[in-house]
Amino acid sequence: MKKVLITGGAGFIGSNLADRLISQGYTVRILRRDNSDLRTIRGIEVEHCIGDVRDPISLLAAVKGCDTVFHTAAIVSFVKKKYAEQVEVNVTGTRNVVDACLGAGIEKLVHTSSVAAIGYPPDGQLVTEETEFNWGGSSGYKWTKHLAEQEVRAATTRGLNAVIVNPSVVVGERDIHFHGGELLRAIKRGKVPLYIDGGMNIVYVGDVVDGHIQAALKGRKGERYILSGENLSHKEIFRRTAELIDGRAPFGRLPIPALRGAATLLEFVASLIGADPIISRDLVTGAGRLNWFACDKAMRELDYRITPFDTTILRAYRWYRENGLL
């Protein structure tokens, strides 16, 4: 690996990946749109290529001269009206990326997927790379990430050396759009009065970046690797976050049927006024489950390591405070 291209290089994971690769001596080019928010890559010496994964011509120019591609570009949304755009970017865009990589003879593609592209086992069991997708086509983001993985796997049968990585809920520096970081903002502002049963997995963005790089160096063709952190209940996540950042922890439990009813109502009201709902039915598809993951495979094959939850939250919070975002 000498010269790399990062699609979505101005995004959350992409910008952190670019910074780490530059610090390790690699030459980095990012593919970004002409209207991308550049705050995440301020001070990072990368080559800029203006384009879009939906535009095959711009991809041909972007991959030229590179030996490794990190495909991090995606639309992360659980809002129904974004579904068509998600299909264009997450699915068709991935198809365009693998075609460009095949055409240019790229040595290695690392595709950033998500644990959302993996299915769920019975409660009490950890999700592994072998857990089959069983969410169905009703869940927009999950479904498009699942289809994107199929595009990558199909490309491996055509000769592409590609690896898939599946991060869980990512928290850390440069999350300017508050994806995983919404947890901190909501707790700090006291906007989570109630918790729900079940649990989730929070991972530090630095661990995810390390996992990407090691996947490029060591990952086996056609394999997927879960990049996750600690498995915790929602109640524990909210309580510990509130203590760490001097926020307000939930004071009670919200029944799952009530959550789903609220999501349906909020979606309906949002559609009437032309706004995005605070929560959606898609977002709460897995609510109440223990969405917990095993990263043993990445630990064995990629030398992957986990940053403790408390350290993850404190690092993210410090970055938000230093940049006036929280």
> What pLDDT is attached to residue 126?
95
Q: Which residue has the higher pLDDT, 72 or 274?
A: 72
132's tokens: 């089959």
Give me the CATH number covering residue 113.
3.40.50.720
Model confidence at 304: pLDDT above 90 = yes
pTM of the model: 0.94
Model confidence at 3: pLDDT above 80 = yes
**CA pair distance 59, 81, nearest whole angstrom:** 26
List pLDDT tens digits, range 26-35: 999 999 999 8
**CA pair distance 101, 267, nearest whole angstrom:** 39
Three-state secondary structure call for residue 293:
strand
Q: Give domain status of residue 258, yes or no.
A: no
Total domain count, the chain: 1
The pLDDT of 180-200, averaged and rounded, is: 93
Model confidence at 176: pLDDT above 70 = yes
For the chain, what is the mean pLDDT?
92
Q: 164: pLDDT confidence band, cut at 50, 70 and 90?
A: very high
Q: Give domain status of residue 193, yes or no.
A: no
Q: Are 199 and 287 in contact (CB under 8 A)?
A: no
Task: Give backbone dihedrals phi and psi of 241, rounded to 5 degrees, phi first.
Answer: -65, -45
Q: 289: pLDDT confidence band, cut at 50, 70 and 90?
A: confident
26-to-11, 17, 127, 161, 218 alpha-carbon distances in Å: 19, 11, 34, 20, 16
The helix-helix angle for 56-63 and 93-104 (nearest 10°) equals 40
CA-closest candidate to residue 128, choices 3, 319, 299: 299
> What pLDDT is attached to residue 282?
78
The pLDDT of 30-47, averaged and rounded, is: 91
The set of residues, in sequence order, having a beta carbon less than 8 Å from that of 289 and lying 6+ positions away, is 120, 123, 198
> What pLDDT is attached to residue 139?
63
Q: Give domain status of residue 271, yes or no.
A: no
Q: Give domain status of residue 55, yes or no.
A: yes
Tell me how many degrees the CA angle 31-104-206 measures, rounded to the nearest 5: 45
The set of residues, in sequence order, having a beta carbon less than 8 Å from that of 89 and lying 6+ positions away, is 53, 54, 73, 74, 75
Model confidence at 45: pLDDT above 80 = yes
SS3 letters across 3-46 = EEEEECCCCHHHHHHHHHHHHCCCEEEEEECCCCCCHHHCCCCC
Could you tell me the residue range of the domain that residue 103 belongs to?
3-177+202-230+292-309
Q: Give domain status of residue 239, yes or no.
A: no
**CA pair distance 188, 120, nearest whole angstrom:** 31
The set of residues, in sequence order, having a beta carbon less than 8 Å from that of 126 and lying 6+ positions away, is 231, 292, 293, 294
Position of tokens 């209940």? 233
> What pLDDT is attached to residue 113?
97
Helices (H), the chain: 12-23, 56-63, 83-86, 93-104, 140-156, 182-188, 205-218, 234-245, 256-273, 296-302, 309-322
Q: Which amino acid is at 205?
A: V
Q: Give domain status of residue 151, yes or no.
A: yes
43's tokens: 């001070």
46's tokens: 């990368």
Q: Give domain status of residue 126, yes or no.
A: yes
Q: Which amino acid is at 32?
A: R
Q: 137: pLDDT confidence band, cut at 50, 70 and 90?
A: low
> What pLDDT is attached to residue 121?
83
The helix-helix angle for 140-156 and 93-104 (nearest 10°) equals 20
Three-state secondary structure call for residue 81:
helix
Q: Give domain status of residue 185, yes or no.
A: no
Tell me how many degrees the CA angle 101-104-108 measures, rounded to the nearest 5: 45
